[in-house]
């Protein structure tokens, strides 16, 4: 089978021919159709992600495909079933042996491209806004990096949950995508004063931040009393230091959030979230935004779209030939 592997850190992926894996105890073998790319994949390539497997390894955090074989002890899935999965690695290969526990059956209505764009982006935003921040109808949600893979889902879900959504993104084209996803107010991070505009709109009750840096600082100073801040990534490259005195004076809450961590500490948080999200998808309430679909052998070009911030929403690699 073909696979795109990391053979050296901070270097382009290498297309390799590998032996097809076999499913072990509690695993299934997936014939991979599509793989969704994420900002975390860029960190993995650089060797700065929280998980660092031995070289060489196959990149790709999430995948969608069809089960072709079952390992011993797997009873809740069947051969021929279509699933999506968050695996952390192995998505950029034609086959993957993965734990049955991380597989999420997908409905007939969901395309393979949508399925590969679904779990991490929507799952991250839904758990952050619903489970962690307890976003309420009528509250004002400020989304930084709003045109990105997870940011755009935060805009969409925030609107669906009844919030007034302020989207911050770079440039008119990206803001237009945010508007289409449901944003009520748009802020251009290249030219606008985030703090001043948010305060003029009435202040933020919840801040969703995958960016960090100066944008986080501006957002924090535009928060209403008792607002909740969710730092969940640092695309700017700067991890903000949160002044405790501002938390104290304004009764703010900073919520640490690592979506993938719930797979180990409380997996029901993820499974409950997926069940709700898939219901919304089938009902036509969610529409994944995929800006680019790229073949496996061009995965390096696909990653460059993320690295250079030329994509909106998700970039999906088409693995099946």
- Could you tell me where in the chain the CATH 3.90.180.10 domains are found? 2-118+288-318
pLDDT value of position 153: 95
pLDDT value of position 237: 78
Q: Both tokens of residue 61? A: 């955090």
Distances (CA, A) of 52 to 36, 215, 236: 19, 29, 22
pLDDT value of position 5: 97
Q: Both tokens of residue 136? A: 């309420």
Q: How many helices (H) and strands (E) does the chain have?
A: 11, 16
| Residues 311, 279, 186, 196, CA torsion sign | negative
Question: Is residue 105 classed exposed, middle or buried when 0-12, 13-18 and 19+ CB atoms within 10 A define those classes?
Answer: middle
Distances (CA, A) of 233 to 4, 24, 39: 25, 34, 9
CB 106 within 8 A of CB 277: no
2-118+288-318: CATH, from 3.20.20.300, 3.90.105.10, 1.10.357.10, 3.90.180.10 = 3.90.180.10
Length of the chain: 321
Tens place of pLDDT per residue across the chain (321 aa):
999 999 999 999 999 999 999 999 999 999 999 999 998 899 999 988 877 889 999 999 999 999 999 999 999 999 999 999 988 899 999 999 999 988 999 999 999 999 999 999 999 999 999 999 999 999 999 999 999 889 999 999 999 999 999 999 999 999 999 999 999 999 999 999 999 999 999 999 999 999 989 999 999 999 999 999 999 988 877 888 898 999 999 999 999 998 988 888 888 898 899 999 999 999 999 999 999 999 999 999 999 999 998 888 899 999 987
pTM, whole model, 2 decimals?
A: 0.89
Pairing of strands 140-143, 95-99: unpaired
pLDDT value of position 319: 97
pLDDT value of position 251: 96
Give me the long-range contacts of 269-277 (CB less than 8 A, separation at least 24).
Answer: 269/127, 269/131, 270/123, 270/127, 273/123, 273/126, 273/127, 273/130, 273/131, 274/104, 274/119, 274/123, 276/126, 277/118, 277/122, 277/123, 277/126
Separation of alpha carbons 296 and 320, rounded Å: 8
- Could you tell me where in the chain the CATH 3.40.50.720 domains are found? 122-259
Pairing of strands 27-36, 314-318: antiparallel
- Degrees (nearest 5) of the Cα angle 109, 127, 123? 35
pLDDT value of position 235: 81
CB 191 within 8 A of CB 172: no
pLDDT value of position 109: 93
Residue 14: CB atoms within 10 A of its CB come to 13
- What is the CATH code of the structural domain delimited by 122-259? 3.40.50.720
pLDDT value of position 236: 77
């Amino acid at each position: 089978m073909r696979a795109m592997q990391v053979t050296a850190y901070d270097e382009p992926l290498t297309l390799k021919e590998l032996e097809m894996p076999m499913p072990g105890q509690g695993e299934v073998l997936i014939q991979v159709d599509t793989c969704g790319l994420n900002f975390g994949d860029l960190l993995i390539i650089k060797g700065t992600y929280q998980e660092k497997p031995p070289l060489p390894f196959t990149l790709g955090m999430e995948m969608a495909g069809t089960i072709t074989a079952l390992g011993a002890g797997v009873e809740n899935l069947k051969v021929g079933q279509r699933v999506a999965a968050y695996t952390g690695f192995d998505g950029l290969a034609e086959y993957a042996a993965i734990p049955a526990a991380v597989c999420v059956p997908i409905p007939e209505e969901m395309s393979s491209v949508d399925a590969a764009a679904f779990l991490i982006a929507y799952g991250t935003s839904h758990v952050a806004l619903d489970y962690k921040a307890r976003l309420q109808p009528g509250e004002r949600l400020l989304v930084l990096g709003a045109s990105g893979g997870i940011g755009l889902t935060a805009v969409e879900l925030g609107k669906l949950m009844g919030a007034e959504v302020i989207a911050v993104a770079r440039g008119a084209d990206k803001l237009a995508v945010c508007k289409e996803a449901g944003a009520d107010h748009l802020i251009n991070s290249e030219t606008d004063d985030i703090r001043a505009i948010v305060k003029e709109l009435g202040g933020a009750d919840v801040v969703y931040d995958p960016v960090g840096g100066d944008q986080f600082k501006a957002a924090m100073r535009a928060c209403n009393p008792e607002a909740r801040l969710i730092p969940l990534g640092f695309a700017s490259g700067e991890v903000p230091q949160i002044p405790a005195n501002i938390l104290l004076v304004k009764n703010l809450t900073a919520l640490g959030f690592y979506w993938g961590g719930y797979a180990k500490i409380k997996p029901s948080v993820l499974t409950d979230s997926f069940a709700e999200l898939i219901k919304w998808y089938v009902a036509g309430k969610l529409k994944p935004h995929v800006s680019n679909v790229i073949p496996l052998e061009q995965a390096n070009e696909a990653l460059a779209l993320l690295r250079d911030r030329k994509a909106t929403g998700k970039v999906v690699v088409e693995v099946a030939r």
